[in-house]
Amino acid sequence: MTVALSGKEMAGKLEAQFPASIIESSRASLIVKSEFLLRIAWYFKATPGFDFDYLSSITAVDYGNYFELVYHLVSLEHNHSLVLKTRCYERDEPVVPSLVSLWQGADFQEREIYDLMGIRFDGHPNMKRIFLWDGFQGHPLRKDYSDGT
């Protein structure tokens, strides 16, 4: 059984290393500030004992006053998982750091989020739409999206 690591416990471990980096933590997930995302993700990937070598899935949710990005990390070696999240409060030009430099599996998934949710990933090697065409207006998965009809 894949053991889901507690976000609360992880927050305790992170506090010393990255002070003031955590927005919220619960049993199910750990929410960090986006400016710390890349460093914290690297910490989880490279620290022995965590070894999160596998980024299972990335997605984004539009909660109205902020976007939440959800990263499902898995360690194939230890068979444990962690739900890491970050938030983006900007709506007009939302930007979060890209994780492609750590896990190339993020490539298409970040492009998908950019395409459908309109969040730009800083550091992505090929940040453009993936499903919709280049001239498409808007980002359909946003809650305030309207196609004008």
Partner 1 sequence: MALKTEHFVLNLGPLHPSTHGVFRLRATLDGEVIVDIEPVLGYLHRGIEKLAEGCTYKQNIPFTDRLDYLASMSNNLPYVMAVEKLAEITVPERAEYLRVIMVELQRIVSHLIAVGTFVQDLGAMGTPLLYMFREREKILDLFEMVCGQRLTYNYMRFGGVSHDIPDEFLPALAKFVDRMPGFIDEYDQLLAENEILLARTKGVGILPKDLAINISASGPVLRASGVKWDIRKADPYSVYDRFEFDIPTGSISDAYDRYRVRIEEMRQCVRILRQAMEQLPKGKVLTEVPLKLRPPAGEVYAHIEAPKGELGFYLVSDNSDKPYRFHIRAPALINLTALRQMLIGWKLADAIIVFGSIDICLGEVDR
**What's the min distance (Å) between Cβ of 94 and partner 1?**
16
Q: How far apart are CA 39 and CA 110, in angstroms?
A: 18
Binding stretches for partner 1 (CB under 8 A):
1-2, 28, 53-57, 59, 61-62, 70, 72, 76, 79, 83, 103-109, 112, 116, 129-133, 140-141
Output b/e per residue, 126-148; b: 16+ Cβ within 10 A: eeeeeeeeeeeeebebbeeeeee
Q: Which is nearer to partner 1, 19 or 148 (CB)?
A: 148
**What's the min distance (Å) between Cβ of 133 and partner 1?**
7
Q: How far apart are CA 108 and CA 84, in angstroms?
A: 19
Q: Which is nearer to partner 1, 14 or 58 (CB)?
A: 58
List CB contacts of 149: < 8 A, sequence separation 6 or more: none
Q: Which is nearer to partner 1, 19 or 49 (CB)?
A: 49
**What's the min distance (Å) between Cβ of 127 and partner 1?**
14
**What's the min distance (Å) between Cβ of 124 and partner 1?**
13
Q: Which is nearer to partner 1, 88 or 106 (CB)?
A: 106
The bridge status of strand 30-32 relative to strand 54-62 is unpaired
The candidate with the shortest Cα–Cα distance to 35, out of 142, 122, 124, is 122
Q: Which is nearer to partner 1, 18 or 70 (CB)?
A: 70
Q: How far apart are CA 72 and CA 82, in angstroms?
A: 6
Eight-class DSSP state of 142: S
**What's the min distance (Å) between Cβ of 16 and partner 1?**
28
